[in-house]
Amino acid sequence: MKQPPTGWVAVARALDDRLRELGWRQWELAQRSQVSQAVIRELQYHTVERSRGTRTLEALSTALGWHQDHLHAVLHGIEPRLPDAPADGGDPVAIRLDVIERRMAAMSATLNELRVDLTTLLQRTRER
C-alpha cells in the first residue's frame, strides 16, 4: 500500500491542491500572505528543501483559509486543526497529549500496513 507523502513533499502537495482548489496563482498567494513568490514556488514544486520559519508557514496557511498551524501540522504528519480552532489550543498538557495520540495512531497504522505486507511476502515465499 502506498504511503501518503510526508515532510516537505506533503507541504508541496497541500499547497498545490489548495491553490488549484481556490483557482489562485502563486502571485495571488504571495500578495495575500506577504511571502515571496520565489519561496512559494520552492515550496510548491519542492525544488529546495530547507528549514522554513514558522511565520512563513503560518502566513501561507492563514492566507489559504486554513488554521495558522495547518502547514506545520502537514509537515510533521499531524492531522491539521480546523480553521476556527484556537491557535494556542488551551491546556499545553492536553495539546501535547493530542500530538502523542495522533503520532501513536499513525505508528499503529504503519505497523498494521507492515504486518499486512509481511504476511503477503511470507505467503508468496511459501508458494514457491
Supply the CATH classification number for the domain 7-127: 1.10.260.40
pLDDT of residue 47: 86
DSSP character at residue 77? T
pLDDT in tens, 43-75: 999 888 788 888 899 999 999 999 888 998 898
pTM for this prediction? 0.63
pLDDT in tens, 11-40: 999 999 999 999 999 999 999 999 999 999
pLDDT of residue 11: 92
Query: Which cell numbers hold the place of 19?
Result: 491553490
Distance CA 83, CA 9 (A): 22
* b/e 73-104 (16+ beta carbons within 10 angstroms → b): bbbeebebbeeeeeeeeeeeeeeeeeeeeeee
